[in-house]
Amino acid sequence: MIAPATPANEAERLNSLRQLDIINSMPEEAYDTITELASYICKTPIAVVNIVDSQHNWFKSKYGTEITGSPRDVSFCGHTILEPDNLLEIPDAAKDERFIGNPFVTGENPIRYYAGVPLLDNKGLPLGTLCVYDFDEHTLDEKQKKALKALAKQVELLFESRRKNKILEELKGELDENNKILKEFASTVSHDLKMPLANMILTADILKVKYSNKIDKEGMDYINYLKHSGLTLSDYINGILDHYSNNRANTGKVEEFFLNDMLEDIIDLLQIAENCEINLPDNNLKIIGNTSAIGQIFMNLISNSLKYNNQEKIIIEIDCTENKDFFNFSVSDNGIGIAKEKQAGIFDLFTTVAEKDRQGRKGHGIGLSTVKKIVESLGGNIRLTSSENEGTIFEFSIKRYNI
């Protein structure tokens, strides 16, 4: 018997194998289907997806045997991986000097036939084999060999899919951790800023009341500017806290309500000017859902339609439909619109489109990101249709509750 040699790239090969993290993983139907097909096509009683580690072979999938692996120094597959580009076929192991005296050839139910195809990673490193065994002398015809190689290619695709999924899981874990840190940081900083900011705004009001007859117009303008800046920063901080707070879908109350009743309450809160026309849906849809979450969505979208509008008369149209699975809504306006090249990132945090709103103030780019987050937490999605200077339509859906 001749023990298999060690490949020249063994260190790289083992590193790739460890990154795959497949040894001792649970059985999977995708692999088991391949070994069963390999046995059927090659007309052999045994087929195995074998992983070659530093000292042992481990069977990721096996058909026709209860053995789960073997020492590498007596393995057939240890020889197979030495020629990564070739199928290794042993018609009669009892007559091959590499396997004469091998315990699998001389023991109970001795193996006589073996054929194996190396399983390569995306760099061409052999990680294991797809192999078939028989207790009798055997050979494969060309069609069988071609089929066995094709099945091996499918195993390689499964390996690559596993590798990519692991990378995605690791990235997701890192992203979740980073988001957690960012959320904690934003919350801490925002809360720490709110008290001194409130004091600054209050001090500006006190200065105006107590010293209005002692400060000239320029001085009062500075005080007004100080207060305005404080209020702007306060809005920004509240937006940050709102964005990173728990999903409203998880904290709000699910109840039955009429959409138009909610919209009328929102319009009252926004104190709509006389030059604004808001047309509610013709059908006062009865909705079962999270009132605070849905209200926050409409509050933000309607507010944006009011702020980013340069028309003498503002017109906002709200519509709704329903189907078996979703409520579907739209909010359209005749405002400034959004240029095509800026639409892709409109829902990204801190992304702003317009330089200033109707009142000459610059937005913070938090509202629409929060809206998207809430809509998705409600099981829906949101999209926009817009042309510059021709208005914007926001369409969003929420999944129906059954209570």
Strands 126-134 and 113-120: antiparallel
Q: How many CB atoms lie within 10 A of CB 172?
A: 10
pLDDT at 330 over 90: yes
pLDDT of residue 244: 55
**For 334-391, where are the E strands, in sequence order?**
382-386
Give the up-direction half-sphere exposure of residue 310: CA atoms within 13 A in the CB hemisphere: 11
pLDDT at 176 over 90: no
Q: 116-132 as b/e, with b when 16 or more CB fall inside 10 Å?
A: bbbbbbeeebbbbbbbb
Q: How many CB atoms lie within 10 A of CB 375?
A: 22
- Of residues 327 and 345, the one with the higher pLDDT is 327
Spatial distance between the Cα atoms of 377 and 243, rounded to a whole number of angstroms: 13
The winner for highest mean pLDDT among 213-217, 305-309, 336-340, 382-386 is 382-386
Spatial distance between the Cα atoms of 247 and 251, rounded to a whole number of angstroms: 7
Lowest mean per-residue pLDDT among 62-71, 76-85, 182-191: 182-191
- Of residues 211 and 20, the one with the higher pLDDT is 20
pLDDT of residue 365: 62
pLDDT of residue 42: 97
- Of residues 213 and 180, the one with the higher pLDDT is 213
| Mean pLDDT estimate for the chain | 86
pLDDT of residue 246: 47
Using alpha carbons only, give the angle 282, 283, 284 rounded to the nearest 5 degrees.
Answer: 115
Q: Let me know: does 400 contact 325? Beta carbons within 8 Å.
A: yes
Q: Let me know: does 13 contact 126? Beta carbons within 8 Å.
A: yes
pLDDT of residue 340: 86
If you average pLDDT over residues 2-29, what whole number do you get?
Answer: 93
pLDDT at 58 over 90: yes
- Of residues 265 and 31, the one with the higher pLDDT is 31
Using alpha carbons, list the distances in angstroms from residue 289 to 192, 294, 323, 330, 403.
Answer: 34, 8, 15, 17, 10
pLDDT at 269 over 80: no
List, as own/partner pairs, every contact residues 266-270 make where C-beta atoms lie below 8 angstroms and the sequence separation is at least 24, other chains included: 266/295, 266/298, 266/299, 266/302, 267/302, 269/299, 270/299, 270/302, 270/303, 270/306
Quick one: CA torsion of 205, 207, 208, 211, rounded to 10 degrees? 160
pLDDT of residue 339: 85
Residue 143 burial class via C-beta count within 10 angstroms: exposed 0-12, middle 13-18, buried 19 and up:
exposed
If you average pLDDT over residues 51-66, what whole number do you get?
Answer: 95
**pLDDT single digits (tens) 189-209:** 666 666 777 777 888 888 888
- Of residues 175 and 331, the one with the higher pLDDT is 331
pLDDT of residue 248: 46
- Of residues 210 and 179, the one with the higher pLDDT is 210
Complete domains list, the chain, with CATH: 10-166 (3.30.450.40), 246-399 (3.30.565.10)
Q: Is residue 125 very low, low, confident or very high in pLDDT (cuts 50, 70, 90)?
A: very high
Share of the chain above pLDDT 70, in %: 86
pLDDT at 240 over 70: no
pLDDT of residue 163: 92
Phi, psi for residue 84 in degrees, rounded to 5: -60, -20
**pLDDT single digits (tens) 38-52:** 999 999 999 999 999
Both tokens of 383, joined, read 């999209």
pLDDT of residue 364: 60
Using alpha carbons, list the distances in angstroms from residue 7 to 29, 52, 84.
Answer: 31, 12, 10
Question: pTM of the predicted model, to two decimals?
Answer: 0.53
Per residue, the 3-state secondary structure of 170-211, as one string, reads: HHHHHHHHHHHHHHHHHHHHHHHHHHHHHHHHHHHHHHHHHH
CA 351 to chain centroid: 21
pLDDT of residue 241: 61
Share of the chain above pLDDT 90, in %: 52
Measuring CA to CA, which residue among 98, 93, 95, 97 is closest to residue 109?
93
Q: How many CB atoms lie within 10 A of CB 372?
A: 19
If you average pLDDT over residues 175-191, what whole number do you get?
Answer: 70
pLDDT of residue 82: 94
**pLDDT single digits (tens) 331-377:** 999 999 888 888 888 887 666 666 566 665 655 667 788 889 889 98
Q: Let me know: does 158 contact 128? Beta carbons within 8 Å.
A: no
